[in-house]
Every structure is written in structure tokens, then in C-alpha cells.
Chains A and B, each alone.
Chain A
Amino acid sequence: EAGVVQSPRYKIIEKKQPVAFWCNPISGHNTLYWYRQNLGQGPELLIRYENEEAVDDSQLPKDRFSAERLKGVDSTLKIQPAELGDSAVYLCASSVEGPRSEQFFGPGTRLTVL
């Protein structure tokens, strides 16, 4: 069974540029999560989807971040414009149903904003 797939694995951009990350969760997993992990910190939830509905986006900086999961399968997270402080690893995870079930994480996208 394929795991959670993320692309790209690495991205270097200049500040004020846009950037997008893509995630394909494990087949059959209804719940999809986007996290941001700063260096030396644990993952912090940005947004959680149940199927195609964003059920928790309270930590998503909506002035510059956006996300979509149009068909309830794969998802895209976008930052526009990027700021220096956005440098981090962006993790995608999926679970069968909800945060109480085991989450399966992708390898992450390491973003560097110059």
C-alpha cells in the first residue's frame, strides 16, 4: 500500500513569491491534515479536512495561506506571498477518520524562503 505522497520534497523561493505544495493521502482515508513544523519544534496543525470539508482551519493564516481538497482526495496548500518566517517543513498526514485514529505522515516539503 502506498503511503502519503507529497511533492515537492524541497523548495527554495524568494520572499513575496507564491508557492504550492501537493499531497496525495492514503487511499480510503477520509481525514487529511496539513501541518507546519519549525526547526526543533513539533508539528502544528494548519488545517484538517474531513473529505472535502475543512473542519478545522483555526490555525491557518488566512491572509496568505489557502488550501483545497476539491474531490476529497488529494490536496494543495498554497502560500502567497511567502515571507521569511514561512521557512519550515510542511507535513501532510491522513487518517481513516478523525484525530483519534492513527495518522500516517508524508515525508514533508522543506521550504526555504530567502
Chain B
Amino acid sequence: GNSVTQMEGPVTLSEEAFLTINCTYTATGYPSLFWYVQYPGEGLQLLLKATKADDKGSNKGFEATYRKETTSFHLEKGSVQVSDSAVYFCALSRDDKIIFGKGTRLHILP
């Protein structure tokens, strides 16, 4: 069946560090891929998405590229800020079903 695996947290970085949160998926065909973010005390919100192979989603300095050959959708940011501290969820949508990963908690230290 379809599934999403993302790196376990928490991930702790200093401000301005480079961020990578790994996400790999298992699915038939070509799912749509998403990153959602949940800031403390708030609901999940879409950060970025990609709907086909080699697409790059980007928003707020974050990027992720849909890699069909490695079945991956890793989240990256070149210079993180304290305000990026949150829980990040990778998700896929296929056949009208959406599946979320377990989430990765990110702590950014000033």
C-alpha cells in the first residue's frame, strides 16, 4: 500500500544553519506530494507541494523536489530562523486518498 516515511525528530539546529528533512514514499503511479507545517498552537497548513516528477515546490525559503527515481521529496532550507520551529509533515495523495508521515519536530536555537 501507499506510505510515507520521514526522518524522526526532534531536529535541533542553530539559526542560519542549512536544513534537510528527509521524506521517502511508496506508492503506485504518480502521487501528489506535500509538506505541511504545524506551528505551536496552530493547525496544520500547507507549506508546499509538487504534482509530478521533477517538479519543485517552494515557499517561505523552503524547497522540495519530487524525485521519482529515488521516491523522495526532501524538504530543504538554506538558512533557518527561530520562527521556523514547528512540526513538519510529509504527505502524499493518490487515488483520492491522502497519507501523512509521522512528522518531524524542528527546534531552531537563536
Q: Which residues of A are interface residues toward B (Cβ below 8 A)? A: 3-4, 40-45, 48, 55-56, 91, 93, 98-100, 102-108
Contacts and interface: CB of A to CB of B under 8 A. Distances in A.
B43 to A, nearest CB: 4
Given A41-B103, A42-B102, A44-B100, 12 more contacts: A3-B43, A42-B101, A45-B97, A91-B43, A99-B93, A99-B97, A99-B98, A100-B93, A103-B44, A104-B43, A104-B45, A105-B44
Contacts of A56: 96-97
Contacts, number: 52
A101 to B, nearest CB: 9
Q: Contact size class for B?
A: 20 to 34
A107 B103 contact: no
30 contacts: A4-B43, A40-B102, A40-B103, A41-B102, A41-B103, A42-B4, A42-B91, A42-B100, A42-B101, A42-B102, A43-B89, A48-B96, A56-B96, A91-B43, A93-B44, A99-B93, A99-B97, A100-B51, A100-B96, A102-B46, A103-B44, A104-B43, A104-B46, A105-B36, A105-B44, A105-B45, A106-B43, A107-B41, A107-B42, A108-B43
Interface of B: 4, 32, 36, 41-46, 49, 51, 89, 91, 93, 96-98, 100-103
